[in-house]
Amino acid sequence: MKQEDNKEFNAAYDLIHKNSIKIPDKIAFIDDDQTINYSNLSKKVKSFSNQIFKLGLKEKDRIIICMFDCINFPITFLGSIWSNIIPICVNTMLPKQDLEYMLRDSQAKAVICSKDLLEVFIEIKNSLDNETLIISEEGEKVTTNNNKVYDLSFLINSNEYNLNPSQTFESSECFWLYSSGSTGKPKGTIHIHKSLKNTSTYYAKKILKITSEDIFFSAAKLFFAYGLGNALTFPLSIGGTSILSKDRPTVEIVNNKIKHNNVTIFFGVPTLYAAMLNSNLKTEDFKSLRLSVSAGEALPEHLCNKWSKTIGSNVLDGIGSTEMLHIFISNYIDLITPGSSGKPVPGYEVRLMKEDNSEADMNEIGELEVKGPTSAISYWNKPEKTEATFIGDWVKTGDKYTKDANGIYKYCGRSDDMMKVSGQYVSPFEIEEALQSHKYVLEAAVVGKKDKDELLKPKAFVVLNDNNNATNLEKELTAHVKKILTPFKYPRWYEFVSSLPKTATGKIQRYKLRIEK
């Protein structure tokens, strides 16, 4: 890239500076315990930025953020970016071995974690050879066998500020998110500074028509690309207010957050919309909403229709990905086609490719590729996976789609083995592996099956060993899987069979299991 194309730009400065001067007293975030205005947000970001260097971190070092949604998340995320330190946001629900993998893979110099996650990170740190710093709320109080834990509140509340951000450019590395595939380890997905701003400029401002009056609430957490845009980038880009919640987004919690904070724009995943619509919703609790958004997996037509009928405002389904940072095909406020992903967001180009490398015709299925102003630059340390996904400016999504005569895109499933469950990636192989590690299981195959709301969930076909003598096998297998994997990945149905369908070479024919008997 020519240097003149790559202007000086810092994403944290872009999101904070103007607001802290123009609307210093406006509330930026409300979490479960406290609120923070734009002026104090800016101060804490600059304090963190100053103090993190004092702990010995250098520009371009990486830092893992593993925190439940609270005000300290945006402070440390933006404070790192302000310092040209690369934050890596990771899922708080991951089992220890995944967190350990991410720490090793990323070679992060420090971890910032919520109090409740301290124990697991101290365990991980003890098994690593290098010196990883651990930072947490109330840190200084926790010291176990030489494991100093640095105090986060000290870092963000000092009287020393980095008033100016470190020098970065539009296209310099800014932050990472981990994305998972059907095989292999999660991939550190590298995003650049201008992408954060661009998710707001193109999608949030043009499609959602966000304003400073909006009160944002995302059920998807900040460590997901979806949640990061919804609850951090979008509200800050416009001087709005974002509601954060550390808890798992149950129907009750989501209902209360919307009602008590007069939320105007809500972001959820289809499973949550289904659960809410299956509960006894009170329409008046949702009267502040002007719009809702669904992503992560396709929103079935009946849920889209039922939401607007019950709530009195619409839900826009749109497809996004970790690689593209946010939504790039979406329904529009004045053009909603229930059961579809809608049309490309302005600024993005999409195409549907067939196996022979030609483009699919109207209503013909093709593999979705996308090009646009928010795409990641590569996966960390995975040249083959990078090469298979990022083809010049085009990014392969792994999704099958059709386009109709009106230019509306409809989701037709994944082209790899991945499933989206509750909006999150699940590989059938990881569930099979977990099942197979149980002493009663000889073989297992996992496929997606639609539940009564038309949403995909894992179903397991299991061949048992001869020597099994469990009384409540399904319960036992579920508990076993939940111990090994992120808990929501457990099979919702089991079928115990005497053998699995296989090819002559011994490969399991999952497609045969998908056909409902």
Interface positions with ligand 3UK (CB under 6 A): 179, 225-226, 295-298, 317-322, 326-327, 341, 397-399, 411, 414, 420, 423, 425
Nearest approach, Cβ of residue 236 and ligand 3UK (Å): 17
Give the span between the Cα atoms of 386 and 331, in whole angstroms: 29
Nearer to ligand 3UK, 36 or 324 (CB): 324
Between β-strands 147-151 and 390-391, what pairing exists: parallel, antiparallel or unpaired? unpaired
Nearer to ligand 3UK, 343 or 414 (CB): 414
First to last CA, the chain: 56
Nearest approach, Cβ of residue 177 and ligand 3UK (Å): 8
Give the span between the Cα atoms of 91 and 96, in whole angstroms: 11
Nearer to ligand 3UK, 44 or 420 (CB): 420
By Cβ distance, which residue is nearest to ligand 3UK?
Answer: 320
Rg (CA), the chain: 23
Give residues with Cβ within 8 angstroms of 97, minimum separation 6.
Answer: none
* Exposure of 191 in the CB half-sphere (CA atoms within 13 A): 31
Between β-strands 424-426 and 419-421, what pairing exists: parallel, antiparallel or unpaired? antiparallel
Nearest approach, Cβ of residue 77 and ligand 3UK (Å): 16
Nearer to ligand 3UK, 38 or 273 (CB): 273
Six token digits for residue 250 = 């149950």
Nearer to ligand 3UK, 111 or 421 (CB): 421
Give residues with Cβ within 8 angstroms of 292, minimum separation 6.
Answer: 265, 266, 267, 268, 273, 307, 311, 313, 314, 315, 316
- Name the residue with tokens 């659960």: 275
Nearer to ligand 3UK, 98 or 399 (CB): 399
| In contact, 131 and 19? CB cutoff 8 Å | no
Give the span between the Cα atoms of 510 and 517, in whole angstroms: 14
Give the span between the Cα atoms of 15 and 105, in whole angstroms: 29
Nearest approach, Cβ of residue 4 and ligand 3UK (Å): 31
Where is 249: in which H helix or E strand? none
Nearest approach, Cβ of residue 509 and ligand 3UK (Å): 23
Nearest approach, Cβ of residue 282 and ligand 3UK (Å): 27
Nearest approach, Cβ of residue 296 and ligand 3UK (Å): 4
| In contact, 386 and 360? CB cutoff 8 Å | no
Give the span between the Cα atoms of 358 and 59, in whole angstroms: 44
Nearer to ligand 3UK, 106 or 195 (CB): 195
Nearest approach, Cβ of residue 517 and ligand 3UK (Å): 27
Nearer to ligand 3UK, 149 or 426 (CB): 426
Nearer to ligand 3UK, 297 or 430 (CB): 297
What values do phi and psi take at 291, rounded to 5? Answer: -160, 150
| In contact, 322 and 191? CB cutoff 8 Å | no
Nearest approach, Cβ of residue 138 and ligand 3UK (Å): 32
Nearer to ligand 3UK, 51 or 314 (CB): 314
Nearest approach, Cβ of residue 62 and ligand 3UK (Å): 20
* Exposure of 214 in the CB half-sphere (CA atoms within 13 A): 27
Give the span between the Cα atoms of 72 and 114, in whole angstroms: 9
Largest separation between any pair of C-alpha atoms in the chain: 72
Q: Is 2 left (phi over 0), alpha (psi -120 to 50) or beta?
A: beta
Nearer to ligand 3UK, 139 or 344 (CB): 344
Nearest approach, Cβ of residue 182 and ligand 3UK (Å): 12
Nearest approach, Cβ of residue 320 and ligand 3UK (Å): 3
Nearer to ligand 3UK, 207 or 462 (CB): 207
What values do phi and psi take at 10, rounded to 5? Answer: -125, 120
Give residues with Cβ within 8 angstroms of 101, minimum separation 6.
Answer: 185, 186
Give the span between the Cα atoms of 420 and 455, in whole angstroms: 9
Nearest approach, Cβ of residue 204 and ligand 3UK (Å): 11
Nearer to ligand 3UK, 173 or 297 (CB): 297
Based on DSSP, count helices (H) and strands (E) in the chain, helices before strands. 16, 28
